[in-house]
Structure 1
Amino acid sequence: MDTSAEADEHVEDNRRHWDERVPIHVAGSFYNLDGFRAGEEDLDRFQLDEMGDVSGLDLVHLQCHIGLDTLSWARRGARVTGLDFSAPAIEAATELAEQVGLDDRARFVAADVLDAAQTLGTHRFDVVYTGTGALMWLPDITRWAATVAALLRPGGRLYLAEFHPLTGVLDDDHGATAAGDYFARGARTYTSPGTYAGWNAETVHNTTTEWHHTLGDVLSAVAGAGLRIEFVHEHATIPFQRYGALVADGGRFRYPDHAAALPLMYSLAATAPA
């Protein structure tokens, strides 16, 4: 387990990493900002079904990056707040909100997710939302869950859609055999240039640290924060080709028909006491 000082150093490395990659993500084709400006969105169908009508709800998106998912919920009628530790990401999200005419119902705040309750003051929300690729950047999942609970109004709801933690330990070619220890917690530090949105991009801040949280860790943290778990659903599709063997399926990827399928994503909803 990291000490607090070690975790802080890792988080700062991660912040520099993400700050540097924001302009690459904004300018490249991976996030398709031109398509978004034209009205397209890329939320999973299951997220739309499970979230239901968000019209008139106050929603905070933790770890929002450049704000596409945040603004997608705003387009569907929510009043949204996006929060991310990268100031350049927040600047890009704010600019995008203005470009698509949603700046009257969207605001973006630069802050560490674990400090969100203090940063946002007394404001409380109907929905706390967090999307794919977020939880692995958090050194303390218990503190995260307590933050979520502090942000919710009585009866408010956490909705989480995330990569299944099993995907982090399977082999890259087929996603069929274990290539790591599912139960190994603690920091995992990597050095890799470029970005998933442009592997050939020239970058300087290439060291990042992730923290592996099992599905049980997440569920226990949410329940331990006093939230009542409504459901946990595991899903057979993922937004990108996580393993070489996956095949395209309507803008998502899944295991081929002849292969034994494993969960690629999961979603979770939990409610605060009324």
Structure 2
Amino acid sequence: MQTDLHERNRLSWNAATVVHNLHKPDQAAFLRGGGSTLFEEEIALLGDVRGQEVLHLLCNSGQDSLGIAALGAAVTGVDISDEAIAFARRLSEESGIAASFERSDVYPWLDAAITEGRRFDIVFASYGALCWLSDLDEWMKRVAAVLKPGGRFVCIEFHPVAMIFDEEGKHAFHYSKPDEPLLWDNGVSDYVGASEGGLVPSGVSGQAAPFVNPHPCAEFQRGVADILGAILGARLQLAEFREYPYSNGWKPYTEMGALPGRRWTALDDRPSLPLMYSVVARKG
């Protein structure tokens, strides 16, 4: 594990999270009124969560965690960003939706959870989470250890193929080089603002000032084989794998076609790409 890069990412996410949430109106009121940031894909993947204990790793500011809690689950959200967890705790209190949020790098958090005997029915991760993990194999082994027998790892993510192109759609990055992290001097971007409302189901509250992140960050580029290999290496049983020709919320390239439901896809005159995937794996 490259804990020095994790710490770099914590600072970058702290700065970006403040800006991301400036784009959003009163999220507590949105949630109190029955609103949710979850897309139908993850709701279907999670299934009936009533009465289940769900661990949401790399939960960001907690909006999706609270969406899962509103479906009847007991949710614990974990994220490395101080700003994200502080916001999530306030949002839980102000929305009246109960959930627990804990700030930590996920690796030591999982180690402590294993030692303490904490176990969950579902471990969930989504949308731009796995690229921040410096050692996916070790992370998955820890995920498997905190699952109850019969428990599920549920993940929906942006596709590795989509990540080999820059914003202009040019092939610019390796498909898989997890041992050579991508180092970004300009840090975590204001991708919420760039999504043109795709990541704000409550409606955009106003354009934040142009954002320059003072803290660099590092991401880890992995292919599908790396991801499935880590799951199988953790002795989880693959139950489902799907690919999607559209992107939920996030607009990966400058020129994209808009679809209903805050989705983006390739323009009609261009070949389609897998822009997302989902995976479900069970503990025997």
Q: Cα offset for 1:167?
A: 1.2
Deviations 1:99-124 (A, max 9, x none): 11112xx1001111112323332110
Map 1:1-274 onto structure 2 (within 5 A): 7-29=2-24, 35-103=30-98, 106-120=99-113, 121-173=116-168, 175=169, 178-185=171-178, 186-192=180-186, 195-198=190-193, 200-203=209-212, 205-238=214-247, 239-250=249-260, 251-273=262-284
2:238 partner amino acid: I
Kept after mapping to 2: 8 A contact 1:20/1:203 = no
Kept after mapping to 1: 8 A contact 2:9/2:218 = yes
Paired-residue identity, %: 32
Kept after mapping to 1: 8 A contact 2:240/2:281 = yes
Q: Alignment partner of 2:277: what SS?
A: strand
Q: Cα offset for 1:22?
A: 2.6
Q: Alignment partner of 1:189: what SS?
A: strand
Kept after mapping to 1: 8 A contact 2:120/2:148 = yes
Instruction: Say what the alpha-carbon RMSD is for the aligned residues.
Output: 2.0
Q: Cα offset for 1:61?
A: 0.1
Kept after mapping to 1: 8 A contact 2:23/2:193 = yes
Kept after mapping to 1: 8 A contact 2:190/2:211 = no
Distance of aligned partners of 1:102 and 1:246 in 2 relative to their CA distance in 1, 3 Å threshold: same
Q: TM-score, normalised by structure 2?
A: 0.86
Q: Which has the higher contact order (CA 8 A, sep 6+)?
A: 2
Kept after mapping to 2: 8 A contact 1:25/1:31 = no
Task: Provide the rounded CA distance (Å) in 2 between the counterparts of 1:102 and 1:146.
Answer: 31
Larger mean Cα displacement after TM superposition, 83-92 or 158-167: 83-92
Task: Provide the rounded CA distance (Å) in 1 between the counterparts of 2:243 and 2:88.
Answer: 30
Kept after mapping to 2: 8 A contact 1:131/1:161 = yes
Kept after mapping to 2: 8 A contact 1:141/1:213 = no
Kept after mapping to 2: 8 A contact 1:223/1:229 = yes
Task: Provide the rounded CA distance (Å) in 1 between the counterparts of 2:112 and 2:214.
Answer: 27
1:188 partner amino acid: L
Task: Provide the rounded CA distance (Å) in 2 between the counterparts of 1:25 and 1:98.
Answer: 20
Distance of aligned partners of 1:56 and 1:265 in 2 relative to their CA distance in 1, 3 Å threshold: same
Task: Provide the rounded CA distance (Å) in 1 between the counterparts of 2:210 and 2:167.
Answer: 22
Q: Alignment partner of 2:231: what SS?
A: helix
Q: Alignment partner of 1:133: what SS?
A: coil
Structure 2 unmatched ranges of 5 or more: 195-208
Q: Cα offset for 1:170?
A: 1.8
Q: Cα offset for 1:246?
A: 1.5
Task: Provide the rounded CA distance (Å) in 2 between the counterparts of 1:65 and 1:262.
Answer: 27
Structure 1 unmatched ranges of 5 or more: none
Kept after mapping to 2: 8 A contact 1:14/1:209 = yes
How many pairs were matched up? 264
Q: TM-score, normalised by structure 1?
A: 0.89
Kept after mapping to 1: 8 A contact 2:76/2:102 = yes
Deviations 1:66-120 (A, max 9, x none): 10110100011111000011122111101101111112xx100111111232333
Task: Provide the rounded CA distance (Å) in 2 between the counterparts of 1:237 and 1:271.
Answer: 26
Task: Provide the rounded CA distance (Å) in 2 between the counterparts of 1:269 and 1:202.
Answer: 36
